[in-house]
Structure 1
Amino acid sequence: MPSDEITEAVAAIDERAGVTVLDDLYLDEERGRWVVKIRLRPDDLADHSEVPRETDWYLHLRDTFPAGSIGIYPADQDANTITATFAHQKLNVAGSEDTPWRKGDICVARYGHTLNQTGATGEPSTGTDRLCWHMDRALQWLRNAAQGELREPDEPFEIPAFNTADAQGPTLAFNESRESFDDWVDVYGQWGTVALYSVPTAEETYVTDVFTDDDGEVVYEPDWGGYIESEMDDAVCGAWALLDQVPIDPPWEAPETWRDLEDFFEETATDPYTLRANIKPVLEEESVKILLIGFPIPAQVGNEPELIYWQPSEIEEFKDPQDVGHRSTGQGQCRAARIVAGREQIRWLEANNWSHDQLIRRGHMDEWFLDRTIVLIGAGALGSMVAENLVRAGCQQLTIVDSDTYEIGNVSRHTLSLDDVGRNKATMLADRLQSVAPYVQAVDVDTAFPPSGEMPASISDAEVVIDCSASRVVRRALDRERWDHRVVFCSAAMGRRANRLFCFTAYSHTFPYTDYEEAFSLWRLQEQIEWDDETDAVPERIGCWHPASVIRTDRVMTWAGTVTRLLDNATGLTLGETDFTVLETSGDDEVPTVSEATPPFQDVTTWEAATSPVTVQVPEKCREAMFERCRQDHPCETGGILAGIDREDDPALLINAQEPPPDSIQEPTKFLRGTDKVEDWLRDARESLGIDYLGEWHYHPAAPPDISLDDRKAMNEIAADDGYDCPHPLLFIVGQDDTQEFAVNAYLFHRDNDYEQLYRMSDRPDDTGEAGTDGKTV
């Protein structure tokens, strides 16, 4: 049986305008979903050949509802359904034989620009409200689809859904960026060959290497990191063709057959059948026959293209022209391809852009660091984790310097593994870093710093030098070296218990050892005093006297992440300037102390009813906004709507006290709040911020904030009006006391025409039956 929350939510949407529940709920045991068939009939639906006036859908709810995803799939066999694929919809192909729905789940709940909304969607969390919210947005999705308004200018561009469901071939990884786009702008309509190399991943993956045109001239060669360069294996030759537009048919469908591709080649120097004939001798003997169809894409809808996207396809086989009655000449090859391939389904493959700027979009260091040559001295616990953070945060060129061997005892707090035991730390860490991301070039210097003899170029060319060795010898050596260019220096070390991090940064031609010593000397003394009894040390292992510090890896990770953050700050240093930061945390038996951001809405005044548990919080900013408007409009009355959130068991929270709409009537003894743009503002606030209408406020100039009969009548009408969807609206009245200072009274109205006064918590009357300032017993 479905849960009560599911049955109540489905019953609620059946009462929703434009939504009809057609069948009973049933459990799809194979997919673990509760399913119900519904019909959507939005009002004001524009005429569209692909969007019927009413459409049937299958609603999918997880057993964990109201948690979990909600699916909305078009019916498969019904006449009233959508069979095309639109933007913000998964590929809308037929479903499985045992399901009555198609696969085109519509996307109504995404963060961002979907359905013309920006910012957080404000999706409710409770069952009935959440499902009704999804239905309202599904109806809006249909309206937008019929009007061709699912894709709005400046919203993020979305790649059309290519049908890769039947793909048996490899996944393709390409490397295209804004910089590489310039290599392709003069090549639209052309074709050529591309070297493809297999790289070791869990799934079969090929990466693109050198692209050449049909004359054998190099068009583009991607810049891969060390891992890709060293692991390239099983080379095959592929082919490419570059279109001058995204291959998409209205409403938002990628081509499925070769005949569908014809229109997109019309403006180019070739057509898909000539292309197949040309690439046949290139691909025919390859174990996997891959053709890349490229096209330019923008970052936002309506903007200029800035990136080449490659959509790979696999050609199963090339037919011999004689098999379809044509000679094996060039013309015969083209005619044979037209006959055979015209009706052939395109076997699209999965693809991903592995370029540096795409892979770091989820978070990266200050851009200044991304292209810098970085030297890290000390590949121990802290150094290995700092290095890992650097490459995952987008840094591409690292040199690791360390002469130590990775030992079994290091596994407790290091990024290397058992495979690396007995090998040089710098060498193995460089190998690991290159395997982290395809853009990383890491080299090792497997000697102590400074190296004997001439300084390696990878060190002398460094623009950033990070010392994680905790060694005075290293710091003195850095002081003796001089770089011809300016360098960002960072020396980071943990305290002996790892309860402190010491991070010294400088911008200079050489490491300022004297400044470091001056800043660190007293801290060194403190550390020595705390470490004197060595109670925090244990033998490295039983049978060995050598002491080892007890430091957990989670503490090292905390400080490693902090070092990279402090490095970001170092970009603000001027030449010769230094910075010394000491951070401290609590003992090992406590949760580490972390500085906290000031929570929002802490400066609130709390109002509550005398006889009921009603509580409302008003931030100082919201209260001051009302007072400022009163000052501005004095001596006329003024006011506006109140918006915020009703937090069920927690106090309601006012977020916004709106100014009077422009069509409001404002006189010294009269105020009538207008309606111009109020509905639009509330809808936008609800969709983007998740806040709702909570009531009204207005001002009685030079008079007490007492409620009038007109106030009561207006608020009772609002409470009874379903359009406001607020059966218990608030009213805040601002008046003036004998000293002309602002005074406020607050009231809560009910749909039964009753109301009660709210009091500040500090002013609440002792007798709960005491009369309010208006004489009404609350």
Structure 2
Amino acid sequence: MSVKRIPNERLLKGRRATEFIDGIEIINDLEWKESINRWVIHCSLYSDEIETAVIPRETEWYILLDDNYPKGDIHFFPSKSNSLTHTFPHQMYNGEGKKEHPWRRGFLCLDANVSTLGKLVPNQEPFDEEERLYWYVTRAIEWLIAASTNTLTSENEPFELVDFPKASPLKVGFSETVQTFKFWNSLDIKFGLVTFSILNNGVLLVRKYQKLNGTCVRRVNWGNYPTQYEPVKKISGSWVILKEIPHIKPWQAPFTWGELTNICRNQGVELLDILRKIKKSHNFKNKLAHIILIGFPIKDKLNEDYSEIFWKGVEISNSFDNSSNSKGTKLNISNMTKNKHRININGQEQIKWMDSFNWSKKSVMSRGMLPKPINESKILIIGAGALGSSIGELLTRAGVEKLGIVDFDKLEMGNLTRHNLLLTEVGKSKAKELAERLNKTSVHGKVTAYSGTIKNNVEKNIDELIKYNLILDCTGEDEVLEYLQQNSWPKKAQFISISLGFGGERLFIFSNYGFSFQYNFFRSLVDPWLLEERAKFEEVQLPREGLGCWHPLFPARIDDIWIMAATAIKTLEKINKEEHRTLFKVHEYEKSMEGSFEGIKLVNEEVYDE
């Protein structure tokens, strides 16, 4: 016999606070639903300010609460009876929902990001037990008023896609920008074929858009890792561009093929005719699936012009297969010789919408990217050791696409204590393995390995190396830096030396612009610092590796390397602003009186005119 669960005092306080709200009536009070691990309140919400031509004055709702209230999510779902059946902005797709639940799918977006709410309560969400549920209920009533008066959105807020009810496990990535939007607008055709490659299990990348005759319309420029794979032959694809986002008013994605077909027709696009032409021009026999990309224009903000094409993928399993044994969604296309004008589609069949993502560089790097002059530079890193590998990863993850890695060495087991590579790469070329790893950190990465010394590579690959405009030495070796002084680069470049002091507690950065690295000048600036370190640490016993005739190792932990590598990246921004002036900077650890780490400070900065 099950024991009825009693709500805790925190929940009861939150629930009692709603009694002071004019606009809510409890139908069934707090009840624990074991199947969803949530507390549920069945209520009605009402207001005389609701425009009843759009939404009834009073509607029924289910409020779902976490047992850890006031923490956790709070969701408002429309009841399957006496409530909303359409989908509005700032609402998830309001479908029928699961049979076992008395509520629909379309929970409301009530968080502080919905700027049009906040007239009755502040936009800042409270987390006090007496205030949080009160805040949500009040905003839900305000949401209903705004939805009924078409004021849920403001002109300057970000554009919001309709919520497409996902039904396919597949995902598709594409790359669209303001520039490609102009291209699509200039194109006189609005449909065609598309090819995909597989990035990993269930994730497709758009590779090429074509006309029906196979002529390439646009090829997508991805990085080295994605483009190593040939387009997959078992999946066919097509594309169609609409004039606007496909939706049923006020803001609901089409759920069935019948709904989508009608929406396309209202925009002057006969989707069935297009599919017929695709079938007529190509053989889709033995394909696992057909992917249709439905394209439409979007914008950054509601009050701005359209600026980008978004592609929403639709999966059709066993596409164009009329056999009775085929499984999944089918397009039942009639024999072309018998009927030239009709295609029979089951209009009630659910659309298998896919998750779709714009993986353009701008979109992917929206979390943070280096300034444009740096991330568009072609950077050659000399030295793929602990420092070089760390700086390489920071650069690629911050938006630098074109990177070259020069190193003659192989990875040793001891390197792994402060290197980005793994056990599986021990004994292999540092340059090649690091380039492969960095190409996997970005869908746009174009990292090239140059195994061997800088001298050998200049002699053999100068036609390749000449494209790099920023030469970044991370070896700190005199032999390398002397070579960069004695041998002029084919064209002017920014030369930068990044090296660490003893124990990784000091960072030296020198930069000059020209045909060669100013090694003699660099040594005149750095030598006094090195002499000071030598005197300071003369008696320190250095760590060693191996037996016999071995050399001492440079002592520094991986956290020392990473924090100095990050500091060096910050300095690149400074160098970028100095307009080719010569610069020398020294950063070092700042420690407390007890010797504990407190941060990094700049202790020397010298800037010289050319």
TM-score by length of 1: 0.70
Please, what is the CA RMSD of the aligned residues?
2.8
1:173 corresponds in structure 2 to 173
CA shift in 2, pair 1:467/1:85, >3 Å: same
The Cα of 1:9 is off from its aligned counterpart by 0.8
Q: What is the aligned partner in structure 2 of residue 504 from structure 1?
A: 510
| Residues 456-605 of structure 1 mapped to structure 2, 5 A cutoff | 456-483=462-489, 485-535=491-541, 537-540=542-545, 546-586=551-591, 592-594=597-599
2:487 and 2:589 map into 1 onto residues whose CA distance is 31
Amino acid at match of 1:353: N
The offset of 1:197, in angstroms, is 1.4
Do the aligned residues in 2 keep the contact of 1:189 with 1:269 (CA within 8 Å)? no
Task: Indicate the residue corresponding to 1:259 in structure 2.
Answer: 258
Worse-matched range after superposition: 320-329 or 180-189? 320-329
Tell me the residue number matched to 2:335: 328
1:385-404 paired onto structure 2 within 5 Å: 385-404=390-409
Judged with a 3 Å threshold, the aligned counterparts in structure 2 of structure 1 residues 331 and 584 are, in CA distance, closer, same or farther, namely farther
1:149-191 residue CA offsets vs partner (Å, 9 max, x unmatched): 2222121111111111x324x2111122222222211337621
How far does the alpha carbon of each residue in 1:193-218 deviate from its partner, in whole angstroms, 9 at most, with x for none? Answer: 11111222xx4111111111224332
Q: How far apart are residue 445 of structure 1 and its match?
A: 0.7
- The farther-off stretch of 540-549 and 6-15 is 540-549
Residues 88-103 of structure 1: pairs in structure 2 closer than 5 A: 88-103=90-105
Residue 35 in 1 paired to residue 35 in 2?
Answer: no
Q: Deviations over 1:534-561 (max 9, x none)?
A: 33x3232588854334422222221222
> CA shift at 1:570, angstroms?
1.4
For residue 232 of structure 2, give the secondary structure of its aligned residue in structure 1: strand
Provide the rounded CA distance (Å) in 2 between the counterparts of 1:112 and 1:473: 60
Q: Deviations over 1:444-468 (max 9, x none)?
A: 1111123352453342221222111
1:370 aligns with 2:375: yes
Cα distance per residue 1:315-349 (max 9 Å; x no partner) = 234365999999723672541x2x33434322211
Return the match for 1:73 from 50, 74, 77.
Answer: 77
Structure 2 residue 281 is matched with structure 1 residue 275: no
The one-letter amino acid paired with 1:147 is T
| Residue 295 in structure 1 maps to residue 300 in structure 2 | no
Is the radius of gyration larger for structure 1 or structure 2? 1
Q: Structure 2 CA distance, aligned partners of 1:137 and 1:124? A: 12
Structure-2 separation of matches of 1:352 and 1:326:
30
Identity of aligned residues (%): 28
Distance 1:110 1:510, change over 3 A: farther
2:135 matched residue in structure 1: 133
Query: After superposition, what is the alpha-carbon deviation per residue over 1:235-270, rounded to whole angstroms, capped at 9, x for unaligned?
Result: 333111111211122110112223323444347675
Residue number in structure 1 paired with 2:159: 157
Q: Which has the higher contact order (CA 8 A, sep 6+)?
A: 2
Q: Alignment length, in residue pairs?
A: 584
Aligned 8 A contact 2:265 2:271 in 1: no
What is aligned with 1:663? none
Partner of 1:63: 67
Normalised by the length of structure 2, the TM-score is 0.89
Q: Which runs of 5+ in 1 are unaligned?
A: 597-778
Deviation at 1:105, TM superposition (A): 1.7
- 1:209 matched residue in structure 2: 207
How far off its partner does 1:103 sit?
1.9
Indicate how the Cα distance of structure 1 residues 498 and 250 shifts in structure 2: closer, same or farther if over 3 A, else same: same
CA distance in 1, matches of 2:599, 2:508: 16
Does the CA contact (< 8 Å) of 2:178 and 2:308 recur in 1? yes
Shift of residue 504, structure 1, vs aligned partner = 2.3
Which amino acid counterpart does residue 221 of structure 1 have in structure 2? R
Report the Cα distance in structure 1 between the residues aligned to 2:581 and 2:7, rounded to whole angstroms.
Answer: 69
The code of the aligned residue for 2:246 comes to: P
Residues 485, 59 of structure 1: alpha-carbon distance in 2 compared, 3 angstrom cutoff: farther
Aligned partner letter, 2:241: L
Residue matched to 2:227: 229
SS of residue matched to 1:565: helix
C-alpha change, 1:132 and 1:486, in structure 2 (3 Å) is farther
State the distance in 2 between where 1:302 and 1:155 align.
8
Contact 1:519 1:580 in 2 (8 A): no
8 A Cα contact 2:90 2:114, kept in partner: no
Whether contact under 8 Å (1:35, 1:59) holds in the other structure is yes
Instruction: Call closer, same or farther: CA 1:13–1:273 in 2, change over 3 Å.
Output: same
Does the Cα contact within 8 Å between 1:199 and 1:233 map onto a contact in 2? no
Distance 2:334 2:49 in 1: 59
SS of equivalent residue, structure 2 residue 543:
strand
Distance in 2 separating the partners of 1:333 and 1:285: 24
Distance 1:256 1:411 in 2: 52
Is the 1:426–1:445 Cα contact (8 Å) retained in structure 2?
A: yes
Q: Which amino acid aligns with 1:58?
A: Y
In 2, the alpha carbon distance for the partners of 1:374 and 1:396 equals 9
Contact persistence 1:479–1:513 (CA under 8 A): yes
Q: What amino acid sits opposite 2:239 in the alignment?
A: W
SS of 1:280's equivalent? helix
SS in 1 for 2:193: strand
- How many angstroms apart in 1 are the aligned matches of 2:50 and 2:352? 36
Superposed, which structure 2 residues align to 1:719-758 within 5 Å? none
Measured in 2, the distance between the counterparts of 1:101 and 1:304 equals 37
User: Distance in 2 between the 1:19 and 1:460 partners?
Assistant: 71
Q: How does 1:443-458 map to 2 (within 5 A)?
A: 443-451=448-456, 453-458=459-464
Q: Give the partner amino acid of 1:252.
A: W
Question: Residue deviations 1:640-660, cap 9 Å, x none?
Answer: xxxxxxxxxxxxxxxxxxxxx
| Structure 1 pair 114–358 and aligned structure 2 pair: CA distance change class (3 A) | farther
The one-letter code sitting in structure 1 at the alignment partner of 2:260 is L
Aligned pairs (5 A) from 1:179-190: 179-187=179-187, 190=190
Please name the residue that 1:765 is paired with: none
1:304-319 counterparts in 2 under 5 A? 304-316=305-317, 317-318=319-320
Instruction: Give SS of 1:211's match.
Output: strand
In the alignment, which residue of structure 1 is the partner of 2:12?
A: 7
Shift of 1:288: 1.4
Say whether the 8 Å CA contact 1:190–1:268 is kept in structure 2.
no
Q: 1:325 to 1:494 in 2, by over 3 A?
A: closer
Q: Following TM superposition, by how much is the alpha carbon of 1:356 offset from its aligned partner in structure 2, in angstroms?
A: 1.2
Contact kept? 2:391, 2:566, Cα under 8 Å: yes
For residues 547-582 of structure 1, the C-alpha deviation after alignment (integer angstroms, 9 at most, x for no partner) is: 334422222221222211111121111233324232
Deviations 1:432-454 (A, max 9, x none): 01111110001011111233524
Q: CA deviation at 1:224?
A: 0.7
* Conserved 8 A contact 1:211-1:220: yes
- Distance in 2 (alpha carbons) for counterparts of 1:347 and 1:35: 31
Residues 482/544 of structure 1: CA separation in 2 closer, same or farther (3 Å cut):
closer
1:421 Cα deviation after fit:
0.6
1:585-639 CA-to-partner distances (Å, cap 9, x unmatched) read: 439996531379xxxxxxxxxxxxxxxxxxxxxxxxxxxxxxxxxxxxxxxxxxx
Quote the offset at 1:229 in angstroms.
Answer: 0.9
* Residues 413-424 of structure 1: pairs in structure 2 closer than 5 A: 413-424=418-429
